[in-house]
Structure 1
Amino acid sequence: MKSLHRRGGRNMRFRLWTSALRFVLAGSLLLTGSVASAGPKEDVGAATMRWAQTLGQNDPDKVVLLYATDGVLWGTLSPTVRADRAALRDYFVTAFKVLPGLKVTFGEQLIRVYGGTAVNTGYYTFSYIKDGETKTLPARYSFTFVKDGENWMIVDHHSSAMPASLR
């Protein structure tokens, strides 16, 4: 009788131990899945895509919120550097007026992260509607982001029309 009780005790301890192990493993999987991010490069890429999606909403007030309060824009459509939120807003108001239905599609992106600062350099193509037709404007860009809490904010954005190829 004692051997059955002992075997039952070991069996019970084994079941408790494996259940506890499963619980710990499941909890750690849930924890790492919800807390861990893909990494800073991916976060900067996501911030860049957020800018593209927000630009596509044609709402200057929403776009401006993606820039730091001291953010700077040297835009594709302007000979003037914009260095405060009012000037940024003015740029996007004009851009949405001149390029109705403005959207952007990103090409190659080169993202580098240096602690709380990141740079994303590459090219994108703006599209818009003019006289009922979709037109495009290829451009090159550099975004500089600074980490502010959980968000990557744009502190510097340069964009210029893509030059013709040298022949």
Structure 2
Amino acid sequence: MKSLVLAISLLVGSSAFAKDLPRVYGNEVVAPANAAEQEISKLFDRWNAALGTGKPAEVVKLYHPKAMLQPTVSNQVRTTPAEITDYFEHFLVLKPTGVINYRQIRLLDVDSAIDSGVYTFDLTKDGKHSKVQARYTYVYKKVGNDWLILNHHSSAMPEQVSIN
């Protein structure tokens, strides 16, 4: 517990954390503020391009061997490369293309980063197009010179609820 408190206090007190405050205002996505944020923001584009190949292996190679995937359109949490491959074998049939609507990038250290926000996917099933908006979080870990997805959580947006 002491180490958790120490880690949180170091993170909150660090100037590196302060400079990574949100870069989004309203519905406008503002360009990343520095080169490291730009590098992390391009990782979604790389992942989205891999989806466009229609090949599960191209997507799965972007995940760390010990990655966890909590996908949008499946109730099963995937924790092995085989399980993640199985998910993308089914998901890619829908010809998904994603667009980020809102994001925040947090640089945890030189080898770790979080990209979280909201994205919208265009999907095609039985010739019919639909859109699915979801909240997402990618946790990236740098291995050698390459950033890999260590954790990917995506959940469809809940129904709109008014709390007036």
Q: When you count helix as a share of all residues, which structure comes out higher?
A: 1
**After TM superposition, is the score higher than 0.5?**
yes
| Aligned match of 2:97 | 103
Q: Give the length in aligned residue pairs.
A: 128
| Aligned match of 2:12 | none
- 2:86 maps to 1:90: yes
Q: How does 1:13-52 map to 2 (within 5 A)?
A: 39-52=35-48
- 2:127 maps to 1:132: yes
User: Partners in 2 of 1:54 and 1:113 — Cα distance?
Assistant: 24
Following superposition, the deviation at residue 108 of structure 1 comes to 1.3
Following superposition, the deviation at residue 133 of structure 1 comes to 3.0
| Aligned match of 2:9 | none
| Aligned match of 1:164 | 159
| Aligned match of 2:30 | none
Alpha carbons 2:118, 2:134 under 8 Å: kept: yes
User: Partners in 2 of 1:45 and 1:151 — Cα distance?
Assistant: 14
1:48-70 superposed Cα distances (whole Å, 9 cap, x missing partner): 21011111222101000000111
User: Partners in 1 of 2:61 and 2:146 — Cα distance?
Assistant: 11
Q: Percent identity?
A: 34
User: Partners in 1 of 2:127 and 2:138 — Cα distance?
Assistant: 31
User: Partners in 1 of 2:73 and 2:67 — Cα distance?
Assistant: 17
Q: TM-score, normalization: structure 2?
A: 0.74
User: Partners in 1 of 2:52 and 2:135 — Cα distance?
Assistant: 18
Unaligned 5+ segments in structure 1 are 1-37
Structure of higher CA gyration radius: 1
Following superposition, the deviation at residue 77 of structure 1 comes to 1.1
1:36-91 superposed Cα distances (whole Å, 9 cap, x missing partner): xx622111111121011111222101000000111110001111110010000000
| Aligned match of 1:153 | 148
Q: TM-score, normalization: structure 1?
A: 0.73
1:140-161 superposed Cα distances (whole Å, 9 cap, x missing partner): 1000001112211100000010
**Runs of 4+ off more than 3 Å:** none
Unaligned 5+ segments in structure 2 are 1-33
